[in-house]
């Protein structure tokens, strides 16, 4: 069993049961299906960040770079008025993102601690401004994706991306795969070495492991997952904008991950749902939603020491 | 605390729409649903609030034209964030089933909204964002604009500069849609008349570090400077221009937003600045005086250009419903009625072009004693060329 | 670019750099002593600007308003440290980041509620409103020279405080050995409160000084925050001297970049920072 904790199993069981049923109840309301889809996509993004920050120990404030890149790469690679195969292009996008992550990783991993936070921030800001100030890539107005890709595999088509429910299940599948993949990685020998190098880098190094290489590979994995989430987000509404890769986007994801319980992975799902849920309620409640949102964040930091997952574990683990 | 809506009603509305969504065939007597997608927080918040207030005033004044239909407003804060635009537009379209959607201010947000709303049954009315694309390549039967295209306020300024005898002009703005399109429009008419753009500088948006550029202008010593900046950037540019001693030596011309809603903050630094715009607060039109007093009575302060544009969006809705005698179930009829309207705007009457952009006067204004004083009509009934629009 | 214009732009760049130093100094001080990365630092800059605008409108005097605003900021700093920051000293750094992000939301919201969303400007105080001849057809405003001098004075005062006074000694000791300072009978809690409050006040003072030169608009805090990070990272986190050098470098480089390649200029300071970190992974003056 890759999910060791009771709390984790309970939370995930409840989540997936509800998540599987949502489109059935809300079939007529494409807004809600779309809204929950966005949350699922964000959850993938936040999980990939949680893996890097909470487990590998790489606190990045530039993760949204890859989220935005996922969408932009798709627009750049595909012909404007021709439907391409989703799976093929998802692989292209992730492959190129992995290469970008390799280059960026080699640069940023030379630093550590607070400097790592800042250099990741700087690189993502640079790429952000590259797209923001460009003429070819739509500048600050962004670009449209005119054709939804088709999703057939060997001629068989299961999913129609124009159908909100189908897109929803594609995103839910991404959540499941990301969750299981990260869990398997963490339980593997590779994962244990990565964790050891977070907890005790000197000792791990002394045992003959090349920490740099392990961190670099982890960085590439996390970044590629983020790019996949970004690709889904861009495809959901067929629209990319440089604002997807701002530092505020990275910061928000970090907030979701810390709220959920840093490093717990399933907590990232909890954190994303809670943050988006609160935002939705406060925005409909008052023009001054920022005050409530900020107040809730402050209260949660003060009251929940290890995030929502930590709180639930205290209740449920005996 | 009128700002606070009750949680109960929000939750109730949510569950209701979630449970029983019906097709939106609004018959007379059903509420007219107007979705508002404007920024109420962040740097554009003031523009969003003004637009909303103007809109609501128009619908209140014209309540009788609505044939007894109550109006229901659904307000969503865009925060001027493009990434949330499609989702919010989807909420208005699919969840609230709005008949009309008013928004936005920011043209990146406009792109996201257009993506969601283009070709749908909901009528989208843009009360500010001037991006050429919205009534150009992306124009659509259900997309209207009551503000301006970025081309409109700047194009006539090229001729103004020529008439003043300026031969060499330094053009400077931000490197984004509105900035680029404004400078291009100026250049189009200015160079056609034999003028020369000696330098064209596009700064990263929204940088306001202008001092070094003002020094560069001083060193270049052109006949005049043409610029587009707005809001905080407009204040900073005009202040830097004055502080470095260029005011009074090299004339400063601009798209009208350089001195809109910013004059108080700019103070003396703005005196003598020449701008072109489709409105001026002191415009001598009966409708304008009437509107300004009505707005002040309602909200306790005088309106600005953004309020006018929101007000005209409200007028467009009310007049359309009035002409259709309250039945807006046929969206085709709504569109063909709205595009034939003549709006009695505080800026003077205007009609819609084939691309649904206002055909309107552009006024030449000069700042005197902290007021934009109208000098002349720089261009009468100016129509945006709507390049790329296939309507 | 002519030699004359080169020097003109150099002066513009240095002046901008000095202001950047003032904004960044509080950030680096708080980080150096307390190890706290205060993302709400930009909000304090915004608070300073809005306060001085408000008081100038009420009292009409820039000097009175500036002093009032700085004192209020100091009080605000003490309050925030006592009520919020203090609870997080033995927590993960990321909890502090989260807390200060929450504070950004709260301050932005308060700004909108208290002062509305119109853009504002503060007039240059009468006594400093003149200008001196500069080039053929431009002049240099006295207020901007004055602002630059204030920034230099504050830099000197900070340097003196940290290296020569008893408070500075405690700060330096507290950075390296928290337990030792406590063993000496010094109340480290009060020391941290003072340092944090000074950091907030420095941010507010930079907002006050910038107010007559810049526009006072919602979101102005976030726009300086990231540039501040670049400054302190280049200089070395926690180093006042580093922040000074970093600020001048960033000021000059971004000024020249803005003139020579305006469309690319946003990227240039980040590129510069990345290059610095590749050569010196801890910044120029890391301890």
Nearest CB neighbour to A241, from listed B4, B91, B112: B112
B222 with B323, same domain: the answer is no
* Residue A255 is assigned to a structural domain of this protein: no
**Long-range contacts formed by A298-304: CB under 8 A, 24+ apart:** A298/C84, A298/C99, A298/C102, A298/C103, A298/C106, A300/A259, A301/A258, A301/C88, A301/C95, A301/C98, A301/C99, A301/C102, A302/C84, A302/C87, A302/C88, A302/C99, A304/A259
| CB atoms A289 and B204 under 8 Å | no
- At B301-322, the pLDDT tens digits run 999 999 999 999 999 999 999 9
C-beta of residue A286 within 8 angstroms of C-beta of residue B4: yes
Q: Any residues with CB less than 8 A from the CB of A224 and at least 6 apart, and which?
A: A66, A94, A97, A98, A101
A112 interfacial to chain B (CB closer than 8 Å): no
| CB atoms B213 and C258 under 8 Å | yes
Quote the domain boundaries for residue A19: 6-245
Position A80 scores a pLDDT of 78
| Residue A216 to residue A210: CA distance in whole angstroms | 10
| CB atoms B10 and A284 under 8 Å | yes
Q: What is the mean pLDDT of each run of 10 residues along chain A (318 residues)?
A: 86 95 80 92 98 95 96 91 89 97 95 90 93 87 86 79 90 97 95 93 91 96 97 93 93 94 95 95 87 94 90 86
C-beta of residue C87 within 8 angstroms of C-beta of residue A302: yes
Coil vs helix vs strand at C155: helix
Task: Say which residue, C74 or C137, is predicted with more confidence.
Answer: C74
- At B209-230, the pLDDT tens digits run 899 999 999 999 999 999 999 9
Report the domain count for chain B: 2
Contacts of B75 in chain A (CB under 8 A): 287
* Residue B11 is assigned to a structural domain of this protein: no
Interface test mutation site (partner B, options A23, A40, A140, max chain B beta carbons within 10 A) = A140
* Residue A222 is assigned to a structural domain of this protein: yes
- Torsions phi, psi for A62 (to 5 deg): -130, 25
Structure-token pair, residue B13: 């509305």
B334 with B253, same domain: the answer is no
Nearest CB neighbour to B232, from listed C134, C136, C215: C215
| Residue B100 to residue B56: CA distance in whole angstroms | 13
Interface test mutation site (partner B, options C18, C224, C262, max chain B beta carbons within 10 A) = C262
The pLDDT mean for chain B works out to: 90
Task: Say which residue, B177 or A250, is predicted with more confidence.
Answer: A250
* Residue B18 is assigned to a structural domain of this protein: no
- At B110-165, the pLDDT tens digits run 999 998 999 899 999 999 988 888 899 999 999 999 999 999 999 999 999 999 99
Q: Any residues with CB less than 8 A from the CB of C61 and at least 6 apart, and which?
A: none
Contacts of B10 in chain A (CB under 8 A): 281, 284-285
* Residue A265 is assigned to a structural domain of this protein: no
Report the domain count for chain C: 1
Nearest to C122, CA basis, from C67, C74, C55, C69: C55
B100 with B33, same domain: the answer is yes
Query: In terms of C-beta density within 10 A (0-12 exposed, 13-18 middle, 19 or more buried), how is residue A92 classed?
Result: middle
B178 interfacial to chain A (CB closer than 8 Å): no
Among all residues of chain B, which has the CA nearest to that of C53? B265
| CB atoms B5 and A129 under 8 Å | no
Interface test mutation site (partner C, options B203, B208, B219, max chain C beta carbons within 10 A) = B219
ipTM: 0.88
C-beta of residue A141 within 8 angstroms of C-beta of residue B133: yes
CA distance B325 to chain A (A): 30
| Residue A36 to residue B209: CA distance in whole angstroms | 41
CA distance C95 to chain B (A): 25
**What is the arithmetic mean of pLDDT over B326-354?**
95
Quote the domain boundaries for residue C256: 3-124+142-279
* Residue B141 is assigned to a structural domain of this protein: yes
| Residue A113 to residue A116: CA distance in whole angstroms | 5
Coil vs helix vs strand at C124: coil
B230 with B378, same domain: the answer is yes
Position B14 scores a pLDDT of 44
Flag the least confident range among A72-76, B68-72, B350-354.
B68-72
Contacts of A296 in chain C (CB under 8 A): 102
Flag the least confident range among B309-318, B335-344, C88-97.
C88-97
Nearest CB neighbour to C94, from listed A130, A248, A258: A258
CA distance A196 to chain B (A): 38
Nearest to A286, CA basis, from C116, B73, B2: B2
| CB atoms B108 and A142 under 8 Å | yes
B266 interfacial to chain C (CB closer than 8 Å): yes
* Residue A87 is assigned to a structural domain of this protein: yes
Strand partners, B374: B365
* Residue A151 is assigned to a structural domain of this protein: yes
Which strand (E) or helix (H) includes residue C9? Answer: helix C3-34
Position A108 scores a pLDDT of 94
Residue C183's pLDDT band (cuts 50, 70, 90): confident
* Residue B94 is assigned to a structural domain of this protein: yes
The pLDDT mean for chain C works out to: 90
Chains A, B: CB contacts under 8 A, how many?
102
Q: Any residues with CB less than 8 A from the CB of B285 and at least 6 apart, and which?
A: B346, B347, B348
Contacts of C141 in chain B (CB under 8 A): 243-244
Residue B285 has pLDDT above 60, yes or no: yes
B246 interfacial to chain C (CB closer than 8 Å): yes
Chains B, C: CB contacts under 8 A, how many?
134
Among all residues of chain C, which has the CA nearest to that of A261? C95
Residue B20 has pLDDT above 80, yes or no: no
B139 with B159, same domain: the answer is no
**What is the arithmetic mean of pLDDT over B39-54?**
90
Structure-token pair, residue B361: 């006067």
Position A318 scores a pLDDT of 66
Coil vs helix vs strand at B200: strand
Position B23 scores a pLDDT of 36
Flag the least confident range among B236-240, C90-94, C217-221.
C90-94
CA distance C281 to chain A (A): 5
B254 with B324, same domain: the answer is no
Among all residues of chain C, which has the CA nearest to that of A58? C94
Quote the domain boundaries for residue B126: 26-148+284-352
Interface test mutation site (partner A, options B20, B37, B42, B83, max chain A beta carbons within 10 A) = B83
Nearest CB neighbour to B176, from listed A139, A244, A286: A139
| CB atoms B7 and A281 under 8 Å | yes
Report the domain count for chain A: 1
Instruction: Note the helical H segments in chain B.
Output: 7-19, 45-61, 85-90, 107-117, 151-163, 177-192, 211-220, 231-243, 263-266, 286-299, 305-323, 331-338
C24 interfacial to chain A (CB closer than 8 Å): no
* Residue B8 is assigned to a structural domain of this protein: no
C-beta of residue B213 within 8 angstroms of C-beta of residue B203: yes
Nearest to B146, CA basis, from B320, B356, B346: B356
B329 with B293, same domain: the answer is yes
Residue B4 has pLDDT above 80, yes or no: no
C-alpha distances out from residue B42 to B238, B279, C111, C118, Å: 22, 25, 10, 11
Residue B7 has pLDDT above 60, yes or no: no
């Amino acid at each position: 069993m890759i999910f060791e904790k009771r709390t984790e199993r309970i939370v995930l069981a409840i989540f997936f049961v509800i998540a599987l049923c949502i489109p059935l109840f809300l079939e007529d309301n494409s807004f809600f299906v779309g809204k929950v889809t966005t949350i699922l996509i964000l959850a993938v993004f936040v999980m990939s960040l949680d893996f890097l920050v909470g487990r590998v120990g790489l606190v990045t404030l530039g993760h949204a770079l890859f989220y935005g890149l996922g969408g932009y790469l798709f627009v750049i690679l595909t012909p404007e008025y021709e439907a391409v195969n989703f799976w093929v292009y998802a692989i292209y996008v992730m492959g190129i993102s992995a290469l970008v992550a390799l280059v960026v990783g080699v640069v940023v991993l030379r630093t550590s601690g607070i400097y790592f936070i800042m250099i990741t921030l700087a690189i993502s800001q640079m790429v952000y401004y590259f797209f923001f100030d460009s003429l070819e890539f739509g500048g600050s107005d962004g670009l449209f994706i005119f054709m939804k890709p088709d999703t057939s595999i060997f001629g068989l088509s299961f999913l129609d991306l124009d159908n909100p429910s189908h897109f929803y299940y594609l995103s839910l599948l991404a959540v499941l795969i990301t969750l299981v993949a990260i869990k398997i990685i963490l339980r593997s020998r590779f994962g244990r070495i990565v964790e050891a190098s977070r907890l005790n880098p000197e000792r791990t190094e002394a045992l003959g492991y090349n920490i740099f290489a392990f961190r670099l590979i982890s960085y590439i994995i996390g970044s590629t997952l983020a790019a996949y989430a970004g690709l889904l987000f861009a495809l959901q509404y067929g629209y990319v904008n440089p604002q997807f890769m701002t530092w505020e986007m990275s910061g928000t994801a970090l907030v979701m991950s810390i709220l959920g319980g840093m490093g717990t992975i399933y907590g990232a799902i909890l954190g994303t749902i809670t943050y988006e849920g609160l935002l939705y309620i406060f925005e409909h409640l008052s023009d001054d939603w920022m005050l409530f949102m900020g107040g809730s964040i402050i209260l949660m930091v003060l009251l929940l020491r290890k995030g929502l997952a930590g709180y639930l574990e205290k209740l449920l683990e005996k | 605390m009128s700002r606070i809506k009750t949680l109960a009603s929000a939750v109730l509305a949510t569950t209701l729409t979630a449970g029983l969504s019906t097709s939106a065939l609004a018959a007379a007597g059903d509420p007219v649903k107007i979705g508002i997608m404007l920024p109420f927080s962040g740097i554009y918040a003031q523009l969003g609030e003004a637009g909303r207030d103007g809109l609501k005033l128009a619908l209140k004044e014209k309540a009788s034209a609505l044939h007894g239909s109550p109006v229901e407003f659904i307000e969503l804060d865009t925060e001027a964030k493009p990434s949330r635009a499609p989702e919010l537009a989807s909420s208005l379209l699919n969840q609230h089933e709005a008949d009309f959607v008013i928004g936005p201010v920011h043209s990146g947000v406009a792109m996201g909204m257009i993506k969601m709303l283009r070709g749908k049954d909901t009528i989208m009315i843009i009360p500010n964002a001037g991006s050429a694309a919205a009534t150009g390549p992306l124009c659509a039967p259900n997309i209207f604009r009551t503000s301006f295209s970025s081309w409109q306020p700047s194009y006539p300024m090229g001729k103004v500069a020529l008439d003043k005898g300026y031969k060499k002009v330094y053009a400077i703005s931000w490197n984004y849609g509105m900035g680029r399109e404004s400078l291009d429009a100026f250049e189009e008419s200015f160079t056609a008349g034999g003028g020369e753009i000696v330098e064209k500088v596009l700064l990263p948006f929204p940088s306001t570090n202008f001092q070094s550029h003002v020094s560069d202008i001083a060193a270049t010593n052109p006949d005049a400077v043409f610029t587009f900046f707005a809001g905080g950037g407009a204040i900073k540019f005009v202040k830097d221009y004055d502080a470095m001693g260029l005011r009074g030596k090299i004339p400063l011309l601009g798209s009208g937003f350089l001195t809109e809603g910013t004059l108080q903050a700019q103070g003396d630094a703005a005196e003598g600045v020449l701008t072109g715009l489709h409105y001026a607060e002191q415009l001598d039109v009966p409708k304008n005086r009437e509107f300004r007093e009505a707005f002040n009575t309602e909200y306790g302060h005088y309106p600005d250009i953004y309020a006018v544009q929101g007000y005209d969006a409200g007028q467009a809705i009310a007049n359309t419903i009035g002409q259709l005698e309250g039945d807006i179930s046929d969206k085709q009829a709504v569109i063909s009625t709205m595009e034939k309207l003549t709006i009695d705007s505080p800026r003077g009457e205007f009609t819609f072009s084939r691309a649904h952009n206002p055909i309107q006067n552009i006024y030449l204004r000069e700042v005197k004693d902290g007021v934009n004083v109208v000098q002349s009509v720089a261009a009468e009934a100016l129509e945006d060329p709507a390049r790329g629009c296939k309507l | 670019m002519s030699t004359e214009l080169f020097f003109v732009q150099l002066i513009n760049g240095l002046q901008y750099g000095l202001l950047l130093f003032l904004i960044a100094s509080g950030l680096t001080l708080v980080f150096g002593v307390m190890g706290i990365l205060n993302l709400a630092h930009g909000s304090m800059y915004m608070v300073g600007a809005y306060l001085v605008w408000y008081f100038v409108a009420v009292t009409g005097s820039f000097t009175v308003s500036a002093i009032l605003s700085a004192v209020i900021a100091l009080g605000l700093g003490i309050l925030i440290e006592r009520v919020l920051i203090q609870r997080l000293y033995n927590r993960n750094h990321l909890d502090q980041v989260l807390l200060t992000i929450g504070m950004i939301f709260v301050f932005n919201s308060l700004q909108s509620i208290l002062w509305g969303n119109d853009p504002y400007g503060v007039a240059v105080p009468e006594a400093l409103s003149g200008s001196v001849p500069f080039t053929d057809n431009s002049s240099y405003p006295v207020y901007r020279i004055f602002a630059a001098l204030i920034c230099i004075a504050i830099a000197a005062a900070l340097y003196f405080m940290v290296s020569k006074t008893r408070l500075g000694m405690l700060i330096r000791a507290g950075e390296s050995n928290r337990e030792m300072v406590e063993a000496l009978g010094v109340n480290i809690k009060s020391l941290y409160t003072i340092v944090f409050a000074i950091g907030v006040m420095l941010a507010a003072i930079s907002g006050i000084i910038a107010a007559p030169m810049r526009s006072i608009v919602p979101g102005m805090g976030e726009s300086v925050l990231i540039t501040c990070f670049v400054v302190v990272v280049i200089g070395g986190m926690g180093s006042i001297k580093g922040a000074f050098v970093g600020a001048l470098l960033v000021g000059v480089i971004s000024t020249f970049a803005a003139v020579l390649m305006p469309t690319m200029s946003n990227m240039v300071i980040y590129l510069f920072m990345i290059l610095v970190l590749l050569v010196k992974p801890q910044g120029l003056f890391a301890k």
